[in-house]
Amino acid sequence: MSDRTLAPEFVRDGGNFVRPIRALRLLNLVLPPAILANFIALPWYGDFVVQRLLVEVFTLFAIALAWNLLAGYGGMVAIGLHFFVGIGSYSLFAVSNVLHLNPWVALPIATACTAVVALISAWPMFRLSGAYFAVGTWVLAELARIAMLNIGWLGAGAGMPLDMISTFDRWSRNAYVYWSALAVGAGSLALAVVLLRSRLGLALVSVRDSEAAALASGVPVGRAKFALWVIAASITGTAGAVSYISTLQVTPDASFSLNWTAAAIFIVVLGGIGTVEGPIIGTFVYFVLREAFAGFGSWYFIGLGSLAIVTMIVAPGGAWSLISRIKKIDLFGIRRRMPAVAVQPDAPKAS
Amino acid sequence: MTTLIETLLNGLLLGALYALFGLGLSISLGVMRMINIAHGDLIVVGAYITSVVVQATGVHALASLVLVVPVMFAIGWTLQRVLLNHVVGRSLFAPILVTFGLSIVVQNLLQEIFTADTRSLRDEYISQIGFDIGGVSVGLLPLLSAAVSVALFALTHVLIANTHYGRQARAVADDPSTARLVGVDDKNFFAIVTGFVLSAIAFAAVLYAIRTPFSPSAGPERLLYSFEAVVLGGLGNLWGTFFGGLIIGVAQLLGARVSSGLGPFFGHLVFLMMLLARPHGLFVRTVR
């Protein structure tokens, strides 16, 4: 399957992509833990403002990554991904408030709730495909938003606060939110890498490249897409829930807002659709742009929208495609190469 | 009982307007296989252009159509030539994402130019005229909207069935590359199609602007109603879109009777339920 199972000479032979594992083994072993340790230690030396910003960065990164898994690998463009931001955050607030649970205990329950909702919602959504699926998910999100606006015990239009958060002092509240956001960001990245290296990942890449060919070669396309839908929904729901622990209040209009999906789309389009590296670069670019230009209000969004349009037309692969055009890098060891040498001698034997 | 009949009737009339929203979407999906996420925002653009024309010239909103339709045609033609032709048929996500970006740009431009306040072209005179048909009261404006909608669907039907453009449209819809081989200049043809789509939007926009106050952020809702009409009707089925619109209109008004805030909710709910019952649309017999 993957080239990890092949003899080493094939890896070297196919060598179009440089893998850090080979090239910079030491750096690869040292750098990620160092970065992670640095991030983990931040609450002890960084201030609240930086923590708040990073909470946004990590949660939005996770949502963008989930959107990219769906669109870039599963061929499922979901304009209504914010449905799961709302479901995740509302589940967390409802569970924590009703059962008087510590929000961090309620967090895994919220993830599970989102997964269950994803299972159910797949039933109508998977009747649609392509562009119809894209807008269909948006209908789902609108449906949920209007429902929340009208459900009294969930606070209707005003939403609800997170009651149990008052049992924490300010420092621990901020630090716990920050660490959970870090866990969601790093965890979803790790999950995506593991996923894409697995058999399911191979199936998804084949679906991405040609759904018809994948079907014809016996790939269980439907099952792979369904699994991806539930995984991406769970990531999104968890990230949404953490994000709203930080905000302390859920409302239908904010939690089920298209802005979540819009940000995810901008990140993925700018960074590079269908890659894992893309959302990392995209998140960086997105937040740099936001911090620099958000003061311009509508003009900021006009600029961002135009940038996304131009990117889609001029460089549909986003920033990462521009980088990998110069130097082929595969940061996470996800790419698979044809074992060209191995196939040739075998070919005549076939049939 | 009469109130129920009244709700049904008004639902049908509202649905005819939704069908008119969906007409353009149905055409661009049928011919170019492309969904325009900015479709609803372009309806709102039409409403704002109408309000500008009405303010500048003092003519009635309906009379302004003489100007608004050609302007919208020009916008559609240009949009297709400059932007959308780059992405038609390229990949699944290119058209969706480019028009999504366009939707964000359009909404924010409208907000920058016209502020976020709602506007209305409500016409007290037309809005107050109503008829009493056996105890059921029906407004002139909804009747007029429905009549315009039926007329435009009929016109589109005739155009597709009988004209050179219609033949090109059917050819491109069946097989774009073969159509190109036999001499259809698809880039130019797509521009004309989008021009036509935006002209239809102009009618929808004016009727909508007289009926309901609008704001720069009103677009996505219009897109969703249009979309639901198209999907319920089935891909490439023009009159299917019309009946799909009727269903959404009736569902919304019946839902609003249950609770005033739940109209659109029931529209969406009925859409999802119909999707489960008839995944290929109401009027498609064969499974694609």
Tens of pLDDT along A56-73? Answer: 999 999 999 999 999 988
Q: Mind listing the pLDDT tens digit for each residue in B203-230?
A: 999 999 888 899 999 999 999 999 999 9
What are the boundaries of each domain within chain A? 50-256
How many CB pairs below 8 Å do chains A and B form together?
122
Q: Which of A49-53, A127-131, A343-347, B61-65 has the lowest mean pLDDT?
A: A343-347
Phi then psi for residue B130, to 5 deg, are -145, 165
Asked if pLDDT for residue A12 goes beyond 50, the answer is no
Task: List the single residue in B with minimal CA-CA distance to A72.
Answer: B93
B223 has a chain A CB within 8 A of its CB? yes
DSSP type of residue A249: E
For residues B110 and B40, what is the distance between their CA atoms, to the nearest angstrom?
13
For residues A280 and A334, what is the distance between their CA atoms, to the nearest angstrom?
15
Does residue A329 sit in helix, strand or coil? strand
B88 has a chain A CB within 8 A of its CB? no
- Give A347's pLDDT tier (boundaries 50, 70, 90): very low
For residues A122 and A128, what is the distance between their CA atoms, to the nearest angstrom?
10
Of B35, B111, B276, the CB nearest to A135: B35
Of A77, A123, A305, the CB nearest to B276: A123
pLDDT attached to residue A154: 86
To probe the interface with A, which of B26, B33, B108 has the most A CB atoms within 10 Å?
B108
Q: Mind listing the pLDDT tens digit for each residue in B52-105?
A: 999 898 888 888 899 999 999 999 999 999 999 888 877 778 899 999 999 999
Chain A residues closer than 8 Å to B105 by CB: 301-302, 305-306, 309
Nearest chain A CA: its distance from B124 CA (Å): 30
For residues B239 and B237, what is the distance between their CA atoms, to the nearest angstrom?
6
CA separation (Å) from A127 to A131, A311, B220, B285? 12, 31, 22, 16
| pLDDT averaged over every residue in chain A | 84
Give the residues across from B137 on adjacent strands. B132
What's the whole-number mean pLDDT along residues B136-148?
Answer: 87
**Cβ atoms within 10 Å, residue B63:** 14
What's the whole-number mean pLDDT along residues A120-137?
Answer: 88
Asked if pLDDT for residue B49 goes beyond 90, the answer is yes
Nearest chain B CA: its distance from A253 CA (Å): 13
Q: Which residues contact A311 (CB under 8 A, 6 or more apart)?
A: A269, A270, A318
Q: Which of A168-177, A302-311, B180-189 has the lowest mean pLDDT?
A: B180-189
pLDDT attached to residue A118: 95
Q: Are A214 and A203 in contact (CB under 8 A)?
A: yes
Nearest chain B CA: its distance from A121 CA (Å): 10
Of A139, A302, A313, the CB nearest to B271: A139
CA separation (Å) from B197 to A138, B59, B69, B190, B202? 23, 24, 10, 10, 9
Asked if pLDDT for residue A292 goes beyond 70, the answer is yes
Q: Inter-chain contact A143–B269, Cβ cutoff 8 Å?
A: yes
Nearest chain B CA: its distance from A169 CA (Å): 39
Chain B residues closer than 8 Å to A83 by CB: none
Nearest chain A CA: its distance from B129 CA (Å): 32
**What helix, strand, coil percent values describe chain A, rounded to 5?**
80, 0, 20
Q: Are B49 and B68 in contact (CB under 8 A)?
A: yes
For residues A303 and A319, what is the distance between their CA atoms, to the nearest angstrom?
17
Asked if pLDDT for residue A95 goes beyond 50, the answer is yes
Does residue B111 sit in helix, strand or coil? helix
Of the candidates A109, A149, A137, the residue with the CA atom closest to the CA atom of residue A241: A109
B105 has a chain A CB within 8 A of its CB? yes
pLDDT attached to residue A350: 41
Angle, in degrees to the nearest 10, between helices A277-293 and A298-314: 150
What is the per-residue burial (b if ≥16 Cβ within 10 Å, else e) of A144-157? bbbbbbeeeebbee
Indicate the Cα dihedral angle A308, A309, A314, A319, nearest 10°: 10
Q: Among residues of chain A, what percentage have pLDDT more than 90?
A: 46
Nearest chain A CA: its distance from B103 CA (Å): 8
For residues A142 and A160, what is the distance between their CA atoms, to the nearest angstrom?
19
Phi then psi for residue A250, to 5 deg, are -100, 145
A157 has a chain B CB within 8 A of its CB? no
Asked if pLDDT for residue A6 goes beyond 80, the answer is no
Phi then psi for residue A34, to 5 deg, are -65, -45
Q: Which residues contact B180 (CB under 8 A, 6 or more apart)?
A: B186
Task: List the single residue in B with minimal CA-CA distance to A296.
Answer: B112
To probe the interface with B, which of A298, A310, A311, A321 has the most B CB atoms within 10 Å?
A298
pLDDT attached to residue A13: 37
pLDDT attached to residue A337: 63
Q: Are A316 and B94 in contact (CB under 8 A)?
A: yes
Q: Which residues contact A86 (CB under 8 A, 6 or more apart)?
A: A141, A144, A145, A148, A240, A250, A252, A255, A256
- Give A340's pLDDT tier (boundaries 50, 70, 90): low
Q: Mind listing the pLDDT tens digit for each residue in A248-276?
A: 899 999 999 999 999 999 999 999 988 88
Angle, in degrees to the nearest 10, between helices A258-271 and A298-314: 40
Q: Mind listing the pLDDT tens digit for each residue in A192-224?
A: 999 988 888 888 888 888 888 888 888 888 888
What are the boundaries of each domain within chain B? 22-218
Nearest chain A CA: its distance from B49 CA (Å): 19
What is the per-residue burial (b if ≥16 Cβ within 10 Å, else e) of B75-103? bbbebbbebbbbbbeeebbbbbbbbbbbb
Q: Mind listing the pLDDT tens digit for each residue in A19-47?
A: 554 555 677 677 878 888 888 888 888 78
Chain B residues closer than 8 Å to A262 by CB: 100, 104
The CA-CA-CA angle for residues A64, A67, A69, to 5°, reads: 110
A273 has a chain B CB within 8 A of its CB? yes
B282 has a chain A CB within 8 A of its CB? no
Of B87, B92, B94, the CB nearest to A75: B92
Q: Are B226 and B22 in contact (CB under 8 A)?
A: yes
Q: Mind listing the pLDDT tens digit for each residue in A74-92?
A: 889 999 999 999 999 999 9
For residues B189 and B193, what is the distance between their CA atoms, to the nearest angstrom?
6
First to last CA, chain B: 42
Q: Among residues of chain B, what percentage have pLDDT more than 90?
A: 48
Q: Inter-chain contact B97–A306, Cβ cutoff 8 Å?
A: no
Query: A296, exposed or middle or buried, with CB in 10 Å at 0-12, 13-18, 19+?
Result: exposed
Asked if pLDDT for residue A14 goes beyond 50, the answer is no
DSSP B127-152: HH-EEEETTEEEEHHHHHHHHHHHHH
- Beta strand residue intervals within A48-197, DSSP E: 160-161
Residue with tokens 């028009």: B99
Task: List the single residue in A with minimal CA-CA distance to B92.
Answer: A130
A152 has a chain B CB within 8 A of its CB? no
